[in-house]
Structure 1
């Protein structure tokens, strides 16, 4: 039953996917989209209005809707974090989507504006922050902590008692042994095997076992010095 109304922040690929999942597998009714004013190139999507963010309160005030920021890992998750903060400062509550086909243990905690796709396993006392995306088929082991604005692609195995630093990106099929910690802004390459902790921020980890790559994560994702 649709008993809550939702505006999606974004009008690109991630917003398209968010519309699909919220529409067909949640209690939310999507009633519109919003984008930053400079990025508004159309008036409608799926027959629903696209409103410039500067005007969103006139059409959908915070008391009437929740919002979901549907932005990918652009600029090492910086853009999603920026837009989430804009939405919160405007007074909106941010919705979280958890697939009906995900397994989430009862004492796991999941923050705002997260998207948990199908076939994720989230175990005992896992902590997931705000703005985290878990694409399909990941395993998050017991008592692991995932900080805000992390992006986990697909078929990643994070064992128990790990800690994933803020704004990190974990590539497809990456594997973490128990009790591993990685610093913020870390990129873990596809298929990497993390057998020890890397606590410094901005690492690019590649290989099996993983080692630091030839450049840092900021260069890899095009993050400028003033954005770090």
Structure 2
């Protein structure tokens, strides 16, 4: 499964980062620009030149989206991909692209991924940057197969969407960037993760993930 050697340290840093963001924003994921989290990270730039942005692709909904490509040997599956309800399917699609963008960023060792910023904001964006940075620090990427299943969407009166889903990481691993060695680990209860996300549609029509919490080893997701 996709554990890292610095998991505890990264988790502590993530908690502090999210707490700082929420204290400054009053815990709200509404209002403001979709680039708020991105600007905060950019403000801490050391001057290093960022990798080139992904080329945009015009999709059937008319939105210019960044092209996302998974690392070699990395596979993500989503169940269900569609439900037949257009609004629900839009949430599922953008959530899937957000997760794919994170894996792409890990593969490219690029915490400042434009694709991740495109599909997330606020606490979720900052958490993603912290998570990707942990892989970069460890010198590892991702490989294998992760299955996201039982994806269920609900809509709130404030216009936001809730998305609860499970992840099966029993066949997903980390891989050393330099040596190419795959860190194969045995499947366990902790290979299954429960996610609870909050998304909000921005002015471009993209359902950005604004908050994300997870519970590794959740009984809800066990086979």
What is the TM-score when the length of structure 2 is the normalising length?
A: 0.29
* Structure with the largest fraction of helix: 2
What is the TM-score when the length of structure 1 is the normalising length?
A: 0.29
